[in-house]
C-alpha cells in the first residue's frame, strides 16, 4: 500500500511504521494516534488535528486500557491541555469535565524531521464509575549508611486520585523474599517502602512501591607507623595492628630502606562499612645482624652490627697478658668459650717457655 485516504475509511488509529512502500497520506480528523516510523520521500497532502470521543469515564483512567485508543504508546503522548499523564503508571488525571483533553502524539519522522499529531479527546462523566489512583515517587531513597534511619519523603511523593490517608510500611530483602520491619531501616542492605492508599468515594485504592539500597560507608582509619622488617623476610613476619592484614603475605622484603606494600583494612562493623583494599603501607627494610662463625680453633671471624669490617683473634690478642681485648661485639656462648680456651692455651705456652729459660 502506497496511498491511503483515511477520510474514506472507518479508522480511528493507524500504524504505518512497518510499511516501507507507503508514500502518500491524506487524513481526516478522526484519528486518536498515528505512527509512521522513520520515512523518507513521503508526501502528506492533509494532516488535520484529530478529534476523538472516549465516552463516559471516571475521575482518572489508564490510557493504555482504553480499548477505543487501541495500542496507543503512552511514552509518545504529551498532554498540553486539561490533565496530566504519569508515564510510570500510564494514568491520566487532573482533568476537568466539560473540557477536552488535548495531547500531542509523536508520530515519527518524515525526511528526518519529527512529526507531531494534535488530538482532542472529548468525554463525559460516568455515573458510579470510580477513577484510578496512583502513587508517584519523585525522589530515589538510595543512600549511604550514616547511622540515621530513612525518612518517608512525603514532599517527594505525589498521590493521584484517592484522598484517603496513605499507610506506610518498610520491608527488608530476606533471601528470595521480604520481611516486614517495625520501623524505618538504618543498617546497610536492600529495602522497599510500600505505600497503600485506601479507596474513597470517587477513586479506587492503590499501592506504590519504592525499592532502595542503603550502601556500606567507607571507613576512616589511621595507617600503622614504624613498621620495620629484615631483608629476606616475608610480610607474614611483620605483625600489623588489629583490623589490618597484608594483601599478599608471601611478598619478600628485598630492599634496604623504605618500601611500600599493599595491605587491607577490615573495619569492626563489616555490615555497614566497606573493607578497604590496596592500601600502601611503608616498611623500613633492615639488614639482618650476622652471627659469629668459627673456621677453626685458631681463627675466629666476628662481624660487627652495622659495620661490615672483619676482626680476628690475632688482631685483638694482647701478647703480654695473653688476654683478648674487651672491645668486641656480643657473641653466642659457644664462640665466647672458644676464645677463652685459646687464651688459656696461649697462657700455658708462655709459662712453659719462661720455666724452661730459668732451668737453663
**CATH value at residue 140:** 2.60.40
Least confident of 52-56, 188-192, 330-334, 341-345: 330-334
304: cell is 660487627
Domain count, the chain: 4
Residue 220 maps to a domain: no
Give the mean model confidence (pLDDT) for residues 76-88.
Answer: 90
Close Cβ partners of 50 (under 8 Å, ≥ 6 residues apart): 27, 29, 30, 31, 32, 33, 34, 117, 118, 119, 120
User: What's the Cα-to-Cα distance from 222 to each of 237, 241, 242, 243, 270, rounded to whole Å?
Assistant: 21, 10, 12, 11, 17
Q: Is residue 259 a part of any domain in this protein? A: yes
pTM: 0.59
User: Residue 290 has what pLDDT?
Assistant: 66
Q: How far apart are CA 312 and CA 2, in angstroms?
A: 111
Cell of 76: 509518545
At residue 295, the pLDDT reads 52
- Please, what's the largest Cα pairwise distance for the chain? 156
Average pLDDT over residues 333-358: 51
| Domain end point (choices 167, 193, 215) | 215
Q: What is the pLDDT of residue 6?
A: 56
Domain limit, last residue, from 95, 125, 155: 125
> Residue 222 falls within a domain, yes or no?
no
With a cut of 70, say whether residue 360 has pLDDT above it.
Answer: no
Say yes or no: 55 and 151 in one domain: no
Domain-terminating residue out of 92, 125, 158: 125
90 and 11 part of one domain = yes
Range of the domain at 92: 3-125
Residues 265 and 247 in one domain: yes
The C-alpha R_g of the chain, in whole angstroms, comes to 45
User: Among 64, 100, 98, which residue's Cα sits nearest to residue 79?
Assistant: 100
Q: What is the pLDDT of residue 151?
A: 93
DSSP annotation of 131: B
- Please, which pLDDT band fits residue 44 given cuts at 50, 70 and 90? low
Q: Answer yes or no: do 260 and 352 share one domain.
A: no
In the predicted model, is pLDDT for residue 166 greater than 90? yes
- My answer on whether 115 and 202 are in the same domain is no
Reported as a pLDDT band with limits 50, 70 and 90, residue 307 is very low
Residue 221 covered by a domain = no
The strand pairing partners of 260, in sequence order, are 282
Query: Between the CA of residue 136 and those of 81, 229, 338, 339, 345, what are the distances in Å?
Result: 21, 61, 92, 93, 103
Query: Per-residue pLDDT tens for 211-233?
Result: 999 999 999 999 999 999 999 99
Regarding whether 196 and 95 lie in a shared domain, the answer is no
Do residue 282 and residue 341 come from a single domain?
A: no
Is the pLDDT at 30 greater than 60? The verdict is yes
Same domain membership, residue 263 and residue 179? no
Q: Whose grid coordinates read 518524515? A: 110
Verify that 8 and 94 share a domain, yes or no.
yes
Mean pLDDT is highest, among 115-124, 329-338, 341-350, for 115-124
- pLDDT tens digits for 189-210? 999 999 999 999 888 999 999 9
The upper half-sphere exposure of residue 273, i.e. CA atoms within 13 Å in the direction of its Cβ, equals 15
Kindly report, residue by residue over 232-285, the tens digit of the pLDDT.
999 999 999 999 999 999 999 999 999 999 999 999 999 999 999 999 999 999
Reply yes or no on whether the pLDDT at 296 is more than 70.
no
With left for phi above 0 and alpha for psi between -120 and 50, is residue 109 left, alpha or beta?
A: beta
Amino acid at each position: 500500500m502506497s496511498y491511503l485516504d483515511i477520510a474514506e475509511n472507518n479508522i480511528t488509529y493507524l500504524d504505518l511504521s512497518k510499511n516501507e512502500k507507503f508514500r502518500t497520506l491524506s487524513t481526516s480528523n478522526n484519528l486518536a494516534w498515528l505512527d509512521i516510523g522513520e520515512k523518507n520521500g513521503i508526501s502528506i497532502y492533509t494532516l488535520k488535528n484529530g478529534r476523538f470521543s472516549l465516552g463516559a469515564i471516571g475521575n482518572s483512567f489508564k490510557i493504555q486500557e482504553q480499548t477505543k485508543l487501541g495500542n496507543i504508546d503512552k511514552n509518545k503522548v504529551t498532554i498540553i491541555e486539561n490533565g496530566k499523564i504519569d508515564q510510570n503508571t500510564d494514568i491520566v488525571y487532573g482533568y476537568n469535565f466539560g473540557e477536552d483533553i488535548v495531547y500531542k502524539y509523536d508520530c515519527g519522522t518524515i525526511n528526518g524531521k519529527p512529526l507531531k499529531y494534535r488530538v482532542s479527546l472529548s468525554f463525559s462523566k460516568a455515573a458510579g464509575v470510580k477513577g484510578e489512583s496512583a502513587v508517584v515517587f519523585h525522589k530515589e531513597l538510595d543512600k549511604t549508611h550514616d547511622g540515621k534511619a530513612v525518612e518517608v519523603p512525603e514532599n517527594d511523593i505525589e498521590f493521584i486520585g484517592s484522598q484517603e490517608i496513605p499507610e506506610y510500611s518498610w520491608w527488608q530483602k530476606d533471601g528470595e523474599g521480604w520481611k516486614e520491619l517495625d520501623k524505618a531501616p538504618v543498617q546497610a542492605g536492600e529495602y522497599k517502602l510500600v505505600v497503600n492508599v485506601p479507596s474513597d468515594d470517587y477513586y479506587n485504592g492503590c499501592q506504590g512501591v519504592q525499592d532502595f539500597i542503603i550502601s556500606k560507608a567507607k571507613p576512616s582509619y589511621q595507617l600503622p607507623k614504624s613498621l620495620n622488617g629484615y631483608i629476606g623476610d616475608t610480610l607474614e613476619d611483620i605483625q600489623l595492628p588489629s583490623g589490618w592484614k597484608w594483601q599478599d603475605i608471601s611478598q619478600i622484603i628485598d630492599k634496604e630502606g623504605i618500601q611500600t606494600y599493599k595491605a587491607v583494612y577490615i573495619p569492626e562493623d563489616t555490615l555497614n562499612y566497606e573493607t578497604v583494599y590496596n592500601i600502601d603501607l611503608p616498611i623500613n627494610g633492615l639488614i639482618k645482624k650476622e652471627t659469629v662463625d668459627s673456621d677453626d680453633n685458631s681463627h675466629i671471624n666476628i662481624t660487627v652490627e652495622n659495620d661490615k669490617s672483619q676482626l680476628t683473634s690475632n688482631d685483638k690478642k694482647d701478647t703480654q697478658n695473653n688476654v683478648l681485648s674487651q672491645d668486641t661485639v656480643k657473641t653466642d656462648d659457644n664462640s665466647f668459650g672458644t676464645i677463652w680456651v685459646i687464651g688459656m692455651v696461649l697462657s700455658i705456652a708462655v709459662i712453659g717457655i719462661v720455666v724452661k729459660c730459668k732451668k737453663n
